[in-house]
Amino acid sequence: MEAISRSVTLTAEPLTPFMPWSVEERAPLPEPATEGEPERQLLVELLREPSAIVERLLDPARLQGLVVGSVGVIAVCTSLFAATSSAARGHGESWALPAALVSANVLMALAASLGPIYAASILVAARVPIARLVAALLASAATGSLLLAGLAPPLYLLWRLDAEWAGPLLLTAAFLLSGAAAGARIHRLLSLLAEAVTRAALGDSTAVLSAQDSYRVGILARVSWMMVAFTSGLGFWAFNALG
């Protein structure tokens, strides 16, 4: 291809022969990021982008939004699951009480587990600022709640088909899957958060957590998961939340 302008060689990328050369034509295409781009939805980030959640955790201006949004997601999703489960078992007229009890139970369990988790973080020399810890814990519980809400329709269907085996098995499996997802998410969030803070502090964008740091973060994540499982299990038993 012959260059349109004799003084400019076309080496980097082919230009169209139908348009004259100009600086604007050769300027790099604008980046699709930043200006004008609508902010990604919290629901999408909760489900598939832990790194975006970490960005929210690191930004004090967006922390409160993350906390309130996660509480909303937890309340709505767990209520939906409890109401569906109640309706599937034939308690259609009294679905409101389990719905309210389950969401309140999960939120209370999360609140009750905050203190022990924070104390554990100090004990294992991996203290997370309390505001970030609250937000990370809520975000991971919200991820688990979203999974729980997604499993509500299959639960209704299976319970209607087989109330003896398939329904109760799926009910148990739904809680196990939701717990596993929330546990994996809190581990991932805490690891990414620690890595981001380490990178910022060292000024090295390629820095990774040392083996000891990863180990301590892992312990903290497991303690968090265990505490939330314990307190929420206690609540489900004490309040007989699912009826």
Partner 1 sequence: MTALVILTAYAVLGLVAAVFALVQKRGGSLASRLGQALLALALWPFLLPVLLTPGDASLRPERGNRSERARRLDEVTSRLEECWRQAAVESSWAAEQAREHRLLDGFVARLRAQERRLLEMEAALATAPASVKERLTRLYEHSAAELEHSIGLVEELAAQLTLLRFSDLGNPSAARAERGHIEELLLRIEALAEASQPIPGEAPPSAQVSRA
Q: What residues make contact with partner 1 under the rule CB under 8 A?
A: 7-9, 11-13, 26-28, 58-60, 63-64, 67-68, 71, 110-111, 114, 121-122, 125-127, 129-135, 138, 194, 197-198, 201-207, 209-210, 212-213, 216-217
Q: Output 160 or 199, the one with its CB closest to partner 1.
A: 199
Question: Closer CB to partner 1, residue 96 or residue 131?
Answer: 131
Residue 231: CB minimum distance to partner 1, A: 12
Of residues 177 and 207, the one with the C-beta less far from partner 1: 207
Cβ nearer to partner 1, comparing 56 with 185 = 56
Q: Collapsing DSSP states into helix, strand and coil, what is residue 89?
A: coil
Closest contact distance (angstroms) between CB of 59 and partner 1 is 7
Contact indicator for 222, 84 with CB cutoff of 8 Å: no
Minimal distance, residue 229 CB to partner 1, in Å: 18
- Residue with Cβ nearer partner 1 (107 or 171): 107
Query: Could you tell me which of 218, 192, 193, 42 has the C-alpha nearest to residue 131?
Result: 193
Tell me how far, at minimum, the Cβ of 37 lies from partner 1, in Å: 19
CB of 41 to partner 1, least distance (A): 20
Distance CA 105, CA 229 (A): 12
**Nearer to partner 1 among residue 122 and residue 161 (C-beta):** 122
φ, ψ for residue 190, nearest 5 deg = -65, -40
Closest distance to partner 1 from the beta carbon of 46 (Å): 16
Residue 67's nearest CA partner among 149, 136, 128 is 136
* Residue 59: C-alpha distances to residues 12, 56, 74, 147, 153 (Å): 39, 5, 22, 26, 36
Which amino acid would we find at residue 33? A
Q: Which of 9, 7, 4 is nearest to 20 (CA)?
A: 4
Which residue, 143, 141, 136, is CA-closest to 47?
143
8 A C-beta contact, residue 88 and residue 213: no
Least Å distance, CB 101 to partner 1, is 14
Between 47 and 197, whose beta carbon lies closer to partner 1?
197
For residue 161, the one-letter residue type is L
DSSP count for the chain of H helices, then E strands:
9, 0
